[in-house]
Amino acid sequence: MASNAALFDAKVPRYTSYPTAPHFHSGIGPEVARQWISSLPAGRAVSLYMHIPFCDRLCWFCACHTKQTLRYEPVSACLQVLHAEIAIISQILDGRVPVGSIHLGGGSPTMLRPDDLITLGNGLRNAFPILPDAEISIEIDPNDMDEARLDALAEFGMTRASLGIQDFDPRVQQAINRLQSVEQTAYVVDGTRARGIASVNLDLLYGLPHQTVKSASSTLRQALQLAPDRMALFGYAHVPWMKKHQTQIRDEWLPDGTERYAQAEAVRTLALEAGYEAIGIDHFALPGDALTLASQHGRLRRNFQGYSSDRCDVIIGLGPSAISQFEQGYLQNTSATGDYLRRIKDGDFATARGVALTDEDRVRRWVIEKLMCDFRFSNGEAIGRFGALAGDVMMQAKRLAATESEALCEWRNDVFEVTTKGRPFVRLIAARFDTYFTAATTRHSAAV
C-alpha cells in the first residue's frame, strides 16, 4: 500500500459518510428533500440533528460551519427560523414517525440563552413524538456555562453532555485560541451530574500546534480525573484551504506525521490502561456504556457526529449546513445563514446540495462503515444483504488482501479484516473501496 513514512503523511477522508461531502452536488434540492421525508415509513424512528452555527469566539482549530458573533440578535433570528423549519418537517411527518435520538451541535449550542434552550426543547416535544428512552446529546463549550444554562440543559431533557476540551496545555490553548481551564471543565461535569445527567463525553485532540506526546498525555490524565463515560480522541484536521481562520495556525507549529502517530498511540495506551474500551478509530468508552455494547454486538454506527449507538437509519438535519442521511442518500442545508433564513421563511426546505446513492454506492457505504466501526466485513453478510451486487466489491477485497504489502489487512475464512497493525490506518484502507476518491485532485486531512 505504501511505505511507513507515506502512511503517516497520507491524506484521506474521515468517512463519516459515503460518498463523502465533497461529492455532494446542487442537483439535489428541496423537491428531493420533500419526497424523501414524505416517504419515511410510519412507526420507524428517526434521529434529529440541529446545527447552531454561531460561537462567541472563533477557535482557530475548528473545521465546523460556524461564525463568530458578539451580538445575540443573529442567534435569536436564526433560532426563530429553526423553529419554522421544525414546523415544516413536523407537518409533513404528521406524528407518523417517532424520534429516537436528538443531537444539538454547532458552533456552540450553549450560546443559546437559557429560556431559548427551554423553548427549543418544548418545541421539539410539541412537534414530534419523542421516544421515552431517546438519547438527547448536546455539545457544550464550558466557557459558556453558568447555573442557569445547566438548569436549562436539564430541563431540555439532555441525557448526555459532550464537552469540548481539546487540550489543557496553556501554550497549545493560546495557539488555537481556546482558553479553558481544568476547573471550568470540572465545574460543568459536576454540574451536569448533580442534575441527574448520567453520561458525560469529553472531546480531545492530538496533532495540535506545539503539542507533544508529553503534553497530550498530561491532558488525557487530567481528563481522566473527571471520570468521563466516553472520550473522543480526534486527530486535528488542518484544512486551511477550506477554513481560512486555520491560517492563524502556522504549519511549522504542527507535529509531523510520525509525531502525530506517537501522540495518538500514547493517549490510546493511557485510555486503555484506565479501563476504557477502544471504539472504532478514536473513541473510548467504559465497559457497559451503550457505545461499548453497540461495538461488542456489531451495532456501532458512524455518521457526521462520529461514532454512535443510535439504531435509527435516518437522520434529519435542521439548521444551516446540517446534513440529513436517508436510505436514498444525503441532503445538506445551505451553509450561508442568510440563504437559510430566506429559504425557510419562504416556506421551503433549505436543501442546497446532496447525493442520491446508486446500488453500488450502497454496497460500498456498508463496506466502509463496517471497516470504520468493526475493522472487518464478511463476504457472507455482504452477499446476504446485497446479493450479486456485492460480488465485484468482494473480489476487490480479496485482491487487496492478496497484494497489500504492509500486512495491514487480510482475507481469511471468507472475512476481510484489518490487522492490528493496520487499524490506525483504516481510513487508508477504506479509501481503496471509495470509487470517488482521487488523491491527486481532492484535499483532505491527515489519515492518522
Is the pLDDT higher at 361 or at 439? 361
Residue ranges, comma separated, of all CATH 1.10.10.920 domains in the chain are 1-19+358-448
Q: Which of 361, 373, 447, 386 is nearest to 20 (CA)?
A: 361
Cα 101-104-107 angle, rounded to 5 deg: 155
The pLDDT assigned to 64 comes to: 81
Backbone angles phi, psi at 207, to 5 degrees: 85, 15
Mean pLDDT of the chain: 94
Point out which residues pair with 221 in neighbouring strands.
none
pLDDT tens digit sequence for 124-133: 999 999 999 9
pLDDT tens digit sequence for 15-67: 999 999 999 999 999 999 999 999 999 999 999 999 999 998 888 888 888 88
Nine-digit cell string for 123: 418545541
DSSP state of 91: H
Whether residue 288 is preceded by a cis peptide bond, meaning omega within 30 degrees of 0, is no
The pLDDT assigned to 348 comes to: 94
267-276 burial string, b = 16+ CB within 10 Å, else e? bbebbeeeeb
Do 249 and 240 meet the contact criterion of CB atoms below 8 Å apart? yes
pLDDT tens digit sequence for 80-137: 999 999 999 999 999 999 999 999 999 899 999 999 999 999 999 999 999 999 999 9
23-356 CATH = 3.80.30.20
The pLDDT assigned to 57 comes to: 86
Three-class SS state of 338: helix
DSSP state of 77: H
Is the pLDDT higher at 353 or at 238? 353
Do 246 and 60 meet the contact criterion of CB atoms below 8 Å apart? yes
Do 206 and 267 meet the contact criterion of CB atoms below 8 Å apart? yes
Three-class SS state of 211: coil
Residue ranges, comma separated, of all CATH 3.80.30.20 domains in the chain are 23-356
Q: Side chain identity at 204, as an amino acid letter? A: L
Three-class SS state of 193: helix
Tell me the C-alpha distance between 421 and 172, whole Å.
Answer: 30
- Whether 159 has a pLDDT exceeding 70, the answer reads yes
Q: What is the mean pLDDT of residues 293-315?
A: 94
Q: What is the mean pLDDT of residues 266-277?
A: 98
Contacts of 102 (CB under 8 A, 6+ apart): 47, 48, 49, 50, 124, 130, 134, 135, 136, 137
Residue with cell 454486538: 297
Contacts of 266 (CB under 8 A, 6+ apart): 213, 216, 217
Three-class SS state of 258: helix
Do 11 and 447 meet the contact criterion of CB atoms below 8 Å apart? yes
The pLDDT assigned to 3 comes to: 47
Do 429 and 422 meet the contact criterion of CB atoms below 8 Å apart? yes
1-19+358-448 CATH = 1.10.10.920
Tell me the C-alpha distance between 351 and 29, whole Å.
Answer: 5
